[in-house]
Chain A
């Protein structure tokens, strides 16, 4: 009898809490720092090895990051809660900074040398949305313009995404989804950077 009473009380509380959760419109605020997803190798493992003849030979100059969205603070909605960026540009920049984990890539500051690969990044989309009552999907879309020696090489559009079950409504799992989607996208950017750096790499360092 006591057990039944406990179950009923729990069900009643869960029911009322679900109503409260629907009404809760407290914003979920995302960090301005990219944190690579735990337990997942977001760069191909063979690219991250230390040293080697090509280590640091791919010099990257991150010239500009722009957020082209109409509302740079908005990162979508999840369970009626707005999701907001503290600083979307800093978040993307810290993601690109993490590319230096690839031993072949060296991010350089200051004026770009003629041989440096110059990147101009545009944030086109970044959002989370609920797909069913308990699932969420994050999408991030960036355009990267590649330049060298003052001349445009080409531009590419990249998409990273992550979908998962939403167990709670906390910031941590939403943040993790955004970081995972950005990491997925950066894995492709990493490959393209290295391909465009081909001339600056020794043959032994060309992995793909």
Chain B
């Protein structure tokens, strides 16, 4: 009986794990010569900034059960309510700010510098389902479709802004599908939801992150939100625009990596000068400018960390 229970609980985890794909997959060099055109799609379900709320773990810590689960639900409800109340002044100050447009503009601008991508339309879709992303591929006349899925949030204390953009490039013509073999060819005619945007047929995949600190950051969430919100949200507008620009630049640079750079990018960096750890992942600094540092993390993903956030 016990093994039956363990099997039932572990099965979903195993199934989910089986679907997991590495966060970084470099673009095959041959793809550059045969990409006829690229449409960019931003699947952005987010409408406004939010405060990250950590899940309560009473049930996990006590071995489960109905009462601990109810305690967790109660704690999460209170935390959600407090976080939503705290972030309201910042949201109000950004009512006329459209992050999707800012990111779309930066991606268009940076990727237009990558001549072989032949970037065409940039569009936003607000409904993020496998049907919707498949439809975006089907409706595109470009040879490839690049998806850039953003998420931007404040830390629970409101002292840090995190922006992450998951990027995937999918083939949309026979020449590019041939690079991914039979799976991609089968997906082109399949009507199964998610088949055209399944991660295993992506030509390129990466996660690009951006991290910044609030002006005069403290451990007081309300004060941090007030700092971000001051002067009609000037600090947040500025940092979100910077984040969009840095993410777009990292993407353009990464797509143009040479084979030697790709080999270095996928090599685990152990210890040494320029070592940085971001959200528990170690990496090395690969670029520096007036705003901060560009970091290649050991899983191949990239991050830009502003100077203020690095000094922590």
**Residues in A lying within 8 Å of B, measured CB to CB:** 4-5, 8, 11-13, 15-16, 18-19, 25, 69-71, 73-74, 76-77, 80, 82, 84, 124-125, 127, 129, 131-135, 137, 139, 141, 157, 159, 161, 163-165
Contacts and interface: CB of A to CB of B under 8 A. Distances in A.
A25 B53 CA distance: 24
Q: Which 7 A-B pairs have the closest CB atoms?
A: A12-B8, A19-B12, A74-B126, A135-B80, A71-B126, A132-B76, A127-B47
A19 B18 CA distance: 14
Given A25-B131, A70-B100, A12 B9 contact: yes
B108 interface: no
A8 B91 CA distance: 45
30 contacts: A4-B1, A8-B8, A11-B8, A12-B8, A12-B9, A15-B12, A16-B8, A16-B12, A25-B130, A25-B193, A69-B126, A71-B125, A76-B47, A77-B45, A80-B129, A129-B45, A129-B50, A131-B50, A134-B72, A134-B77, A135-B76, A135-B77, A135-B80, A141-B95, A157-B92, A157-B95, A161-B88, A163-B84, A165-B73, A165-B76
Contacts of B132: 82
Contacts of A76: 45, 47
A161 B84 CA distance: 9
Contacts of B72: 134
B81 interface: yes
Interface in B51-92: 53, 55-56, 72-73, 76-77, 79-81, 83-84, 88, 91-92
Interface string B92-103: 100100001000
Q: How large is the interface on B (under 10, 10 to 19, 20 to 34, 35 or more residues)?
A: 35 or more
A16 B45 contact: no
Given A19-B12, A70-B126, A71-B125, A8 B80 contact: no
B47 A139 contact: yes
A69 B98 CA distance: 10
B129 to A, nearest CB: 5
